[in-house]
Amino acid sequence: MIKVYAPRDAGEFSWVLLSIALVGASLLAGWVHAQQPPSKPPAEAKPAEPEKPTTTSIESFRDPRAEKLLPNTFPTLGKAANPAVLKAVKAAAAGAGNAARQQIEQYVEHYIGELTNHTNIRAIIDRENPLPANAGAHLAIQSATNSLLDPILTARGANNNGFLNTYNQVLVQALPPVFENHLLSRIEAMIVLSQTGSPDAVPIFEKQISDPNQTVWVTLWAARGLTKVEELSNYNFDTAKAAKAAKAVADFLEREKDLPWPVQYRALEALGALRQANTIPPMKGQPEMAMTATQFLTDPDARLEVRAEAGWALGMLQVQAGIAKYNYAMIAHTIGEIAAKLGERIHEDYPKNVTQAESWSGLLMSQVFQSFEGVPNARESGLLKANHPEANAARAYIKQVSDKTKPVTAAAVKLVRDPPGKSAQNLKDLNTKVADLKDWLAKNRPANAWLVPGSPVFPLNKPQVVNAPPGGEPIANRAAGRER
């Protein structure tokens, strides 16, 4: 299984490596799995002591492009290195020695060979003619990926920037051919590259995101790589390059209409991290990237995880002052609706699945909170801190929505953290806070449901026909203008 919706998760690659080892026969059909919340308890269920978490069901996503990458006929790349070289590079990453660039290149090529080795791939995908249980090939791909990742993490932890810069340069140079190899090889290679945080890797991420023939599971990690670049630069990556990358992400989201929701989530995370609401200069005066995020924010059929992440992304985006009448009130109102829905889900799920309720609470504490307040080191992030003229005009309204969501978050956190004996009262308190938020939102709907004049009209609360401003496209009873 692939963990995908833990807010701002850490240790993000280890579980993916494990998933590749566990998916096994499912890979033969081109499937990738992700956790799915269990079904809701019956409506008549009364508050009770939480039971043990129910077994999670499995949600499967099929990417036909992945199926074409399963035959174990791709060329083996790389070249085996002397064990002494491998040991020297690992020591150099920790600052316990020196390694020449040539040695680092040999190290990387060695593990590329392990990632693309036919026997190692067969150990995972061939269930009809399995290798002996004690064969080292069973864990070889996982071990190779760990070995490529370890120097990044070790050098970063030791502030060994000289080694890290050289190592990242070698990865940027050596890994691209692997993205045209076997499904397993290309996914693992992109996991490694996504952790570098290297600006030099951005063109590679863009290329893979823009490639309509690339499997979405590689694209997911390419998007994560863009986010990592911004995080490690304190969200100060070159504006023009960030806008170009953000346009590639937005085009990907617009092009792929049936993306698995974990991929949508990571792409929206990247869109927010890149912080560009529009291309430079804006095409037709429209905030194209913000428009894409708003489609997901307002889509009543989208997963709550995805909608919450879209709200986070919109809170991160920097909007040029020349974008007139940007509708901050509509964005804030919709994020308030998502907070209310999250509160309802927590109330419904807690009696049967505490773990799922905690996950929903995490979205309130992270995505919803940060959409208003921003994130550390990201200047003017969060709707409350945006310096756009329209943000200043809508500041009071945005603050009211934010202030109404905070009691819901506090009640949710109290519910999942307090001893089970207090659950009945805490469930009642959460229900009251959610009702108060919903009542306020119903009485304080924004005047307009478009993002900017001339853009599509997005659904607010319940889909309904709304007259668009001149040049706008009226949209009724469908999700955020997205074709299905």
Of 184, 75, 60, 180, the C-alpha closest to 122 is 184
Residue 42: which pLDDT band, with cuts at 50, 70 and 90? very low
Does 134 map to a domain? yes
3-state secondary structure the chain: CECCCCCCCCCCCHHHHHHHHHHCHHHHCCEEEEEECCCCCCCCCCCCCCCCCCCCEEEEEECHHHHCCCCCCCCCCCCCCCHHHHHHHHHHHCCCCCCCHHHHHHHHHHHHHHHHCHHHHHHHHCCCCCCCCCCHHHHHHHHHHHHHHHHHHHHHHCCCHHHHHHHHHHHHHHCHHHHHCCHHHHHHHHHHHHCCCCHHHHHHHHHHHHCCCCCHHHHHHHHHHHHHHHHHCCCCCCHHHHHHHHHHHHHHHHHCCCCCHHHHHHHHHHHHHHCECCCCCCHHHCCHHHHHHHHHHCCCCCCHHHHHHHHHHHHHCECCCCCCCCCHHHHHHHHHHHHHHHHHHHHHHCCCCHHHHHHHHHHHHHHHHHHHHCCCCCCCCCHHHCCCHHHHHCHHHHHHHHHHHHHHHHHHHHHHHCCHHHHHHHHHHHHHHHHHHHHHHHHCCCCCCECCCCCEECCCCCCCCCCCCCCCECCCCCCCCCCC
Neighbouring residues of 402: CB distance < 8 A, sequence distance ≥ 6: 332, 372, 373, 383, 384
The pLDDT of residue 35: 33
Neighbouring residues of 78: CB distance < 8 A, sequence distance ≥ 6: 108, 109, 110, 111, 112, 113, 114, 115, 116
Asked whether residue 177 falls in the same domain as residue 284, the answer is no
Distance separating alpha carbons of residues 239 and 249, to the nearest angstrom: 15
Neighbouring residues of 25: CB distance < 8 A, sequence distance ≥ 6: 127
Residue 299: which pLDDT band, with cuts at 50, 70 and 90? very high
The pLDDT of residue 462: 52
Asked whether residue 159 falls in the same domain as residue 282, the answer is no
Asked whether residue 126 falls in the same domain as residue 206, the answer is no
The structural domain count of the chain equals 2
Asked whether residue 364 falls in the same domain as residue 410, the answer is yes
The pLDDT of residue 57: 57
Residue carrying the six token digits 């190592």: 167
Mean pLDDT of 29-56: 37
Average pLDDT score, the chain: 85
Asked whether residue 172 falls in the same domain as residue 96, the answer is yes
Asked whether residue 177 falls in the same domain as residue 220, the answer is no
Greater pLDDT, 240 or 58: 240
Which tens digit of pLDDT belongs to each residue from 333-361?
999 999 999 999 999 999 999 999 999 99
Does 43 map to a domain? no
41 has a pLDDT exceeding 60: no
Which tens digit of pLDDT belongs to each residue from 438-469?
999 999 999 999 999 988 888 775 533 333 33
**Containing domain of residue 479, as a range?**
202-484
Asked whether residue 309 falls in the same domain as residue 448, the answer is yes
| Torsion angle of C-alpha atoms 245, 248, 250, 252, degrees rounded to 10 | -140
Does 135 map to a domain? yes
Lowest mean pLDDT among 175-184, 298-307, 454-463, 472-481: 472-481
Does 27 map to a domain? no
Asked whether residue 231 falls in the same domain as residue 176, the answer is no
Does 2 map to a domain? no
Asked whether residue 216 falls in the same domain as residue 285, the answer is yes
